[in-house]
Structure 1
Amino acid sequence: MEALNNWLLTLDGFLGSSAWFPYVLLGVGLFFTLYLGFPQIRYFRQAWRVVSGKYDHSHMKGDTSHFQALTTALSGTVGTGNIGGVAFAIFLGGPAALFWMWMTAFLGMTTKFVEVTLSHKYRDRAPDGTMAGGPMYYMDKRLNMKWLAIIFAIATVISSFGTGNLPQINNIAQGMEATFGIKPILTGGVLAVILAMVILGGISRIAKVTSKVVPFMAVFYVLGALSVIALNIENLWPSFKAVFANAFTGSAAAGGFLGASFAYAFNRGVNRGLFSNEAGQGSAPIAHASARADEPVSEGLVSILEPFIDTIIICTLTGMVILCSGVWTEKFENKFQRADMVVLAGNYTDTVDADRQQLYAYLNGQDSEVKTFSGAVKVVEGQVAEGGPITVINARSVAEDVRFRLGGHPYSGLLDITNGKLEDPDVNVVGKSLVHSAELTTRAFTRGYFGDYGQYVVSIGLLLFAFSTAIAWSYYGDRAVIYLLGYKWVMPYRVLYVAGFFWASFSDTTMVWNLAAVAIVLMTLPNLFGILMLAKEMKQTVRDYWASLKD
């Protein structure tokens, strides 16, 4: 698993975590925003009119209403990205990362408008009578690039696991264990059965479930978040100020947080923003293709609301809860995951400025004197007795009160360490450090009016958010399978999807997030290329829509 995780990190370094990817993603959104005259602002009111059902007619082709298509697409985007993803972005880049999540969402509103409109325009009817659409159809039918359509469809199948499946149940299981003490394998087993019952019913059952679950879970989560912000209201303005003040400079060190450079905060903010709202990824157009509409632009307008609801509203609430509560700079007792931990040569502390500067440079990929440790240390009753000196870094922070355990008991003996990594996979490490993902959000929600009961808001919210995401992504994947292999392969795909869902409930969290990061980019790049090729057609399609609406 560690070797696989390292390979995923290397691959992600050339893709989503590379210096060029955020500029490509934001650049396409900026281009269409200017080219179409800021549609996310000009057409915002019309989007609400369409989703309200004002233009719905029963004779139109499709399987779902505008509202059901929106809630299905939202169920695919409102998931762990809103709870664990925001926390992960702030953990990595500090308050500055939230600013770049906002920018990704604002420009992403236009990107989603374009990709949904074009995909709806070239949708097709599947053998079972339902609608099938997505970027692969406009790539094939309009661009005559079947090879690109095949690449996108394959990436969609992979991403259905890497984005919509594995990270979702992993975070659910983690949250249920932390809050209720339920073993991950039990959570995975029960929810896998429920997932199978829902997705076997196809888009009609999926739409009915999501149209009821999404509004409820949004209200439930928003009320819980406001309870934390209200109790820490004096920190609200300083938190917003920090987001804007650090946007172009990076986030300074604070408490256990060692700081993040501008490049690091920018990259992680854009990356997590894409994971949250999926604008440009090409996933939402698959859900919107099912909508009953004769005018593709009308469904594109509905999709403008997704990044706004998902990121501008829900992700902002999560971010303010984390920043206002102050937990993002605090260290908590936790079990260290190997992928988050590295052993350094020498003694470092986050209370000395010189050490902070060296560690900051090391963690942000800059020139630093910090080196990883290789050698052996003697451990007695869980504590390092001889060897070193060493410093354990976990979750990008200097770990404190570090203990080594084996089989639930303090470990005694020699520990071999190579390039900062423990050789013995059976030895566990516990201590105090920063935390991230769903655990960080859970800690923040205990700082509100509900006290420790606030953790239940996160656990239940995570359960609803993530599970609905897994439902929606199963539909995205099976539409891609229909395009690639035909309708007869849908059922085998769904079985494999449920099996993967169960397996991920007890797999390594960090590895799952890294798999998701790679899978997202494998969908996004072909889709961005495709919509750029059809920019002129998109502009004319929008003109035709407004002309027909006037008539």
Structure 2
Amino acid sequence: MDSLSVIESINNVLWGPVMLVLLLGTGVLFTIKLRFIQLRRLKDTVRETFKKNEGVKADDEGMSSFQALATAIAAQVGTGNLAGVATAIAAGGPGAVFWMWISGFFGMGTIFAEAVISQVYTEKVGGRVVGGPAYYIKHGLGSKALAGFFAVAIVLALGFMGNMVQSNSIADAVNSAFQIPPLVTGLVIAFLVGLIVIGGMSRIAHFTSNVVPIMAVFYLFGAFVIILTNYQEIIPAIKMIVYGAFNPAAATGGIIGVTIREVFRYGIARGLFSNEAGMGSTPHAHAVAKVKHPAQQGLVGIFGVLFDTLIVCTVTALVIIITEAYTTDLVGIELTQYGFYEGFGELGNSFIAISMFFFALSTIISWYFFAEANIRYLFGTKFLRVFQGLVLIFVVIGTSLEVTVVWELADTFNGLMVIPNLIALLGMVSLVVKILNDYENNYEEDKSSTFEKEIK
């Protein structure tokens, strides 16, 4: 049995029914406990996301709410939206997109919980405010062992394995469009990442808050041009997604021979990798947002998942289905590129290569930021420079690996970091409900709040 087969066997267990039910179940539980907050507080979500943050600058004390969201979206909107959606459709058919939607909808409840708890439990390490699951597992759940396990898992999952996924996808896209050798691309990425992360929280926040909105508009504009040009195919494509979720063979005329189990598994797994709800990554950004009440950042977190899964992933899927790119044998970013090639001709390859470059570059920077918070948890500030160097090395290595191996490794480590985070969330359901009730009953009426942010 080769190494890929071993990894796939592990993932079949790790991402089996128990994990998927637990992951979806957590989202369902919070959605019910929070009384479908993603629907009834949608107006507040938009208001909190786009309100002005005048005079709030990123420093060692944190960053503005919008900068935290941009850093979170930089992590969410990356290869999961371009290559990940394509991988899900190639492996599970168009119906996998439906399960991505489901994971995204219920994931909004999960991300709200992650964001508000991360706001409550933070620390100062080396003069900088940090937070995230390791910190709320330690202080809120009271388990140093589980917190340590999460910290190690996320350093491996995002700092190393996950960032190889990002650089791998960039290198493939750039090589396909411009015939630039992967190693050259890897060295350029490593140089840019090093230049940004060495500037600390302030430079990272400045980069994400400026680049993320521009890259999102650029990509969505291109995708909408293709979709609207083929507007008569929109309804059939949506029907294929919904019908394919429950009858994949009939939806594609048997072109893609997959079972409902595969459609479900790849849809949920790629949905998680895309929106990261429940994975425990984006809380590191939400933890350091300078807001007056934790629930405010929880609402902002909801917008991140909504934008990532229900907007960006959907338009990517529609391009792939409308152009019938899914009927080819291509996988990963090459499948997405083919869809845009069908829509734009030769320009399509360059369009995706440029989009992927900025999407994945911003994700690498955000994931570094998340992983660094856990290096600080484990070792303080002792090994930060060593960690930075290792991340850059893994970024370069990732450009030369086989795409299937990289994605499977990412699934493995993602699964390992999900487990302790979900345990913590399920153990603090009552706290999340209490924070929301305080926000709705006290904070909005300009009464004193019982949940001011603490630095431990």
TM range, normalised to the smaller chain? Answer: over 0.9
Superposed CA deviations along residues 487-545 of structure 1, whole A, max 9, x for unmatched, are 11111111100010011111111111011001111111111111111111111111112
Q: Distance in 1 between matches of 2:254 and 2:99?
A: 23
| Letter matched to residue 296 of structure 1 | P
SS in 2 for 1:288: helix
Structure 1 residues 257 and 481, CA gap change in structure 2 (3 angstroms): same
How far does residue 483 in structure 1 lie from its aligned partner after superposition? 0.4
SS in 1 for 2:2: helix
Q: Could you tell me which residue of structure 2 aligns to residue 445 of structure 1?
A: 340
| Letter matched to residue 105 of structure 1 | G
Q: Could you tell me which residue of structure 2 aligns to residue 154 of structure 1?
A: 152
Q: Distance in 1 between matches of 2:22 and 2:132?
A: 21
| Letter matched to residue 465 of structure 1 | F
How far does residue 54 in structure 1 lie from its aligned partner after superposition? 5.0
How far does residue 68 in structure 1 lie from its aligned partner after superposition? 0.4
| Letter matched to residue 85 of structure 1 | G
State TM-score, norm by structure 2.
Answer: 0.94
How far does residue 253 in structure 1 lie from its aligned partner after superposition? 7.2
Q: Distance in 1 between matches of 2:200 and 2:252?
A: 49
Q: Distance in 2 between matches of 1:170 and 1:91?
A: 18
Contact preservation (8 Å) 2:56, 2:63? no
| Letter matched to residue 536 of structure 1 | S
Contact preservation (8 Å) 1:132, 1:479? yes
Q: Distance in 1 between matches of 2:12 and 2:242?
A: 27
Q: Could you tell me which residue of structure 1 aligns to residue 449 of structure 2?
A: none
Matched, 1:322 2:317: no
Q: Distance in 1 between matches of 2:56 and 2:80?
A: 35
How far does residue 244 in structure 1 lie from its aligned partner after superposition? 1.2
Matched, 1:13 2:12: yes
- The 5-angstrom pairing of residues 431-442 of structure 1 reads 434-442=329-337
Superposed CA deviations along residues 245-267 of structure 1, whole A, max 9, x for unmatched, are 22223343747833221111011
SS in 1 for 2:292: coil
Q: Distance in 1 between matches of 2:34 and 2:131?
A: 23
Superposed CA deviations along residues 365-411 of structure 1, whole A, max 9, x for unmatched, are xxxxxxxxxxxxxxxxxxxxxxxxxxxxxxxxxxxxxxxxxxxxxxx
State TM-score, norm by structure 1.
Answer: 0.78
Contact preservation (8 Å) 1:252, 1:258? no
> Where in structure 1 are there 5+ consecutive unaligned residues?
331-433
Q: For the aligned residues, what is the CA RMSD? A: 1.8
Q: Could you tell me which residue of structure 2 aligns to residue 475 of structure 1?
A: 369
Q: Distance in 1 between matches of 2:242 and 2:190?
A: 42
Of 459, 463, 468, which residue of structure 1 is paired with 2:357?
Answer: 463
Q: Could you tell me which residue of structure 1 aligns to residue 78 of structure 2?
A: 79
Contact preservation (8 Å) 1:96, 1:251? no
Q: Could you tell me which residue of structure 1 aligns to residue 454 of structure 2?
A: none
Structure 1 residues 176 and 541, CA gap change in structure 2 (3 angstroms): same
Q: Could you tell me which residue of structure 1 aligns to residue 275 of structure 2?
A: 277
- The 5-angstrom pairing of residues 126-141 of structure 1 reads 126-127=125-126, 129-141=127-139
Contact preservation (8 Å) 2:240, 2:252? no
Q: Could you tell me which residue of structure 1 aligns to residue 451 of structure 2?
A: none
Contact preservation (8 Å) 1:100, 1:247? yes
Structure 1 residues 98 and 451, CA gap change in structure 2 (3 angstroms): same
Q: Distance in 1 between matches of 2:232 and 2:161?
A: 36
- The 5-angstrom pairing of residues 375-390 of structure 1 reads none
Structure 1 residues 327 and 192, CA gap change in structure 2 (3 angstroms): same
Q: Distance in 2 between matches of 1:124 and 1:257?
A: 53
Q: Could you tell me which residue of structure 2 aligns to residue 527 of structure 1?
A: 421
Q: Distance in 1 between matches of 2:161 and 2:233?
A: 33
Larger helix percent: 2
**How many residue pairs get matched?**
444
Using the TM superposition, name which of 82-91 and 118-127 deviates more. 118-127
Q: Distance in 2 between matches of 1:7 and 1:181?
A: 33
SS in 2 for 1:280: coil
| Letter matched to residue 113 of structure 1 | F
Q: Distance in 1 between matches of 2:212 and 2:162?
A: 16
Q: Could you tell me which residue of structure 2 aligns to residue 4 of structure 1?
A: 3
Q: Distance in 2 between matches of 1:234 and 1:293?
A: 45
Of 385, 409, 425, which residue of structure 2 is paired with 1:515?
Answer: 409
Q: Distance in 2 between matches of 1:162 and 1:323?
A: 32
Structure 1 residues 54 and 467, CA gap change in structure 2 (3 angstroms): closer
Q: Could you tell me which residue of structure 1 aligns to residue 89 of structure 2?
A: 90
Q: Could you tell me which residue of structure 1 aligns to residue 67 of structure 2?
A: 68
Please tell me whether Structure 1 or Structure 2 has the larger radius of gyration of its CA atoms. Answer: 1
Superposed CA deviations along residues 86-134 of structure 1, whole A, max 9, x for unmatched, are 000011111110000000000001100001110111011121x221000
- The 5-angstrom pairing of residues 148-547 of structure 1 reads 148-161=146-159, 164-252=162-250, 254=252, 257-330=255-328, 434-448=329-343, 450-546=344-440, 547=442
Contact preservation (8 Å) 2:249, 2:255? no
Contact preservation (8 Å) 2:165, 2:398? yes
| Letter matched to residue 456 of structure 1 | S
Structure 1 residues 30 and 192, CA gap change in structure 2 (3 angstroms): same
Structure 1 residues 453 and 36, CA gap change in structure 2 (3 angstroms): same
Q: Distance in 2 between matches of 1:24 and 1:57?
A: 41
Using the TM superposition, name which of 295-304 and 459-468 deviates more. 295-304
> Where in structure 2 are there 5+ consecutive unaligned residues?
447-456
Q: Distance in 1 between matches of 2:291 and 2:251?
A: 51
Contact preservation (8 Å) 1:56, 1:292? no
| Letter matched to residue 191 of structure 2 | V
Q: Could you tell me which residue of structure 2 aligns to residue 119 of structure 1?
A: 118
Q: Distance in 2 between matches of 1:255 and 1:171?
A: 30
Contact preservation (8 Å) 1:250, 1:260? yes
How far does residue 295 in structure 1 lie from its aligned partner after superposition? 1.4
How far does residue 164 in structure 1 lie from its aligned partner after superposition? 3.6
Q: Distance in 2 between matches of 1:164 and 1:264?
A: 22
| Letter matched to residue 108 of structure 1 | G
SS in 2 for 1:488: coil
Q: Could you tell me which residue of structure 2 aligns to residue 338 of structure 1?
A: none
Structure 1 residues 251 and 205, CA gap change in structure 2 (3 angstroms): farther
Superposed CA deviations along residues 138-160 of structure 1, whole A, max 9, x for unmatched, are 11112211111011111110111
How far does residue 57 in structure 1 lie from its aligned partner after superposition? 7.0
Contact preservation (8 Å) 2:158, 2:367? yes
How far does residue 163 in structure 1 lie from its aligned partner after superposition? 5.5
Superposed CA deviations along residues 178-234 of structure 1, whole A, max 9, x for unmatched, are 110000011101111111111111111011011111011111111111122123222
Q: Distance in 1 between matches of 2:178 and 2:327?
A: 25
Q: Distance in 2 between matches of 1:233 and 1:163?
A: 39
How far does residue 236 in structure 1 lie from its aligned partner after superposition? 1.2
How far does residue 59 in structure 1 lie from its aligned partner after superposition? 11
Structure 1 residues 164 and 208, CA gap change in structure 2 (3 angstroms): farther
How far does residue 298 in structure 1 lie from its aligned partner after superposition? 1.1
Using the TM superposition, name which of 504-513 and 247-256 deviates more. 247-256
How far does residue 477 in structure 1 lie from its aligned partner after superposition? 0.8
Q: Distance in 2 between matches of 1:510 and 1:174?
A: 12
Larger strand percent: 1
Matched, 1:100 2:99: yes
Q: Distance in 2 between matches of 1:328 and 1:545?
A: 46
| Letter matched to residue 120 of structure 2 | K
